[in-house]
């Protein structure tokens, strides 16, 4: 007897096909996705766009921008990567993730036109699905976060109203180069002709490259701490933003960590340009302090200093590269200095794991080494040997992430803290376990 596939079954089959594309790796060219989009009638041209690149802070910056646009009354798409638990996280409209049925629809549409000489990679398919879904749902704006790079990133087929480059630290050296200068050239590849650019790049060599690209493209460049900035109000957990056209007071950062001050500033500067350059009268294009505060209150960005439990305090943070580990280490050693801390950590094999461990291990009284299911995960025995160089405290191996998290929580008192970090894949597996626990 012939069986009919259920919607969930169909969704799972689509995901299986998408994930298998990962084995084709990364291809540094744009012809394949351009051909797919052309056959889909270029859905990415049917709405206005903001493009966000950089090393860290891309996702939270993009989320802030999307939240403010949404609060202003615009139907707003948000495309981010990677996901933590579910593929659907990558594509959202007005804070609502794409449904399973819509994933199937978008995949089938994109897959049917993937007929070029080279089949599309995982990220190319996912990106095209995002563009297609946003067009089908008639969004007004879409905020697009790059994947790994910039110049040859699959998202770099768009003509945005504003480009944002958050910051730079060495990563993905096989593809992006071994120097800040080389990295800036790749990330700066998102800068388009006559399109304003917002940046938090601070290294002189990197900023010099960004300035040169902006000049060649006749694009106005606005630099954090020069043209705009934010400062913490004395004695209060509130911030004042001094921007291109506006000054906003008593802002609350929706996400924890002092580094979010920079991401918040970049997002607000981008919004100033978006609202400044509206082409026709529209009451929605009115940026004011109330709109900013209410928009920021909508912002959520899971897996980045995310507090998921209070007793004990459990924090999830991907901290998947050296700069992110440095930021997390600063947070743990200051904000959590009075709590006994258990660190659950797993790192991928293409990361500077020894330097990352040096930033994080000294903050904890207990260290549990774990391993995400992805095949790029470093062996726990390697991490344990390295971790023991930075602490006299116990270092334990529990390979399964969910078992490691359970053990960390069970052996902690209510007043203690647990931090799960080192990889977005580790954070994702942990979040799935904790979310399931809360559901039950």
Domain boundary among 296, 327, 352: 296
Q: Per the domain annotation, does 204 fall within a domain?
A: yes
Q: Does 3 score more than 50 pLDDT?
A: no
- Residue scoring higher pLDDT (282 or 122): 122
| Structural domain count, the chain | 2
Distance CA 200, CA 206 (A): 10
345 neighbors 357 (Cβ within 8 angstroms): yes
Distance, CA of 55 to CA of 187 (rounded, Å): 9
Same domain, residue pair 256 and 337: no
pLDDT tier at 7 (50, 70, 90 boundaries)? low
State the pLDDT at residue 223. 98
Q: Are residues 329 and 224 in the same domain?
A: no
Domain ends where: 263, 296, 329? 296
End position of a domain, from candidates 296, 315, 330: 296
Residues 254 and 395 in one domain: no
* Inside any domain, residue 228: yes
Same domain, 227 and 335: no
pLDDT digits (tens, 9 = 90+) for 36-64: 999 999 999 999 999 999 988 899 999 99
Please check whether residues 169 and 282 belong to one and the same domain.
yes
Range of the domain at 98: 7-296
* pLDDT for position 254: 85
Quick one: 288 and 316 in the same domain?
A: no
292/326 same-domain check = no
Closest CA to 172 of 282, 58, 3, 26: 26
Looking at residue 273, which CATH number applies to its domain?
Answer: 3.40.1190.10
Please check whether residues 55 and 35 belong to one and the same domain: yes
Residues 277, 368: one domain? Answer: no
261 and 327: one domain?
Answer: no
Q: What is the mean pLDDT of residues 422-440?
A: 84
pLDDT tens-digit profile of 95-123? 999 999 999 999 999 999 999 888 999 99
**Same-domain pairing of 355 and 417:** yes
């Amino acid at each position: 007897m012939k069986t009919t596939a259920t919607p969930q079954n169909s969704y799972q089959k689509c995901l299986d096909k998408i994930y298998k594309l990962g084995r084709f790796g990364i291809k540094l060219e744009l012809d394949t996705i351009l051909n797919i989009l052309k056959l889909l009638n270029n859905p990415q041209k049917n709405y206005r766009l903001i493009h966000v690149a950089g090393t860290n802070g891309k996702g939270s910056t993009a989320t802030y921008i999307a939240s403010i646009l949404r609060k202003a009354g615009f139907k707003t798409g948000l495309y981010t990567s990677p996901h933590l638990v579910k593929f659907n996280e990558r594509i959202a409209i007005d804070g609502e993730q794409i449904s399973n049925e819509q994933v199937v629809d978008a995949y089938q549409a994109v897959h049917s036109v993937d007929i070029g000489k080279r089949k599309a990679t995982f990220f190319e398919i996912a990106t095209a699905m995002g563009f297609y879904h946003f067009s089908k749902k008639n969004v007004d704006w879409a905020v697009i976060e790059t994947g790994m790079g910039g110049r040859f990133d699959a998202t770099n087929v768009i003509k945005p109203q504003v480009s944002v480059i958050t910051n730079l630290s060495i990563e993905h050296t096989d593809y992006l180069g071994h120097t800040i200068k080389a990295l800036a050239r790749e990330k700066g590849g998102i800068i388009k002709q006559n399109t304003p650019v917002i940046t938090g790049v601070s290294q002189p060599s990197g900023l010099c490259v960004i300035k040169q690209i902006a000049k060649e493209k006749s694009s106005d460049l606005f630099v954090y701490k020069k043209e705009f900035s934010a400062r913490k109000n004395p004695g209060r957990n509130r911030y004042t933003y001094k921007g291109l056209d506006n000054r906003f007071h008593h802002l609350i950062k929706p996400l924890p960590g002092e580094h979010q001050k920079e991401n918040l500033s970049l997002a607000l500067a981008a919004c100033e340009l978006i609202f400044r350059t509206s082409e026709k009268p529209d009451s929605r294009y009115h940026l004011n302090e109330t709109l900013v505060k209410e928009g920021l209150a909508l912002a959520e960005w899971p897996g980045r200093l995310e507090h998921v439990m209070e007793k004990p305090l459990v924090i999830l943070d991907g901290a998947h590269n050296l700069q992110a580990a440095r930021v997390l280490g600063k947070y743990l050693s200051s904000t959590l200095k009075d709590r006994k801390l258990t660190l659950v950590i797993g790192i991928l094999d293409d990361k500077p794991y020894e330097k990352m461990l040096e930033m994080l291990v000294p903050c904890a009284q207990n260290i549990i080494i774990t391993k995400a299911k992805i095949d790029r995960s470093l062996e726990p025995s390697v991490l344990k040997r390295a971790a023991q160089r930075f602490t006299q405290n116990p270092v334990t191996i529990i390979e399964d992430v969910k078992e490691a998290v359970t053990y960390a929580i069970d052996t902690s008192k209510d007043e203690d803290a647990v931090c799960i970090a080192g990889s977005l894949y580790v954070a994702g597996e942990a979040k799935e376990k904790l979310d399931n626990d809360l559901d039950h």
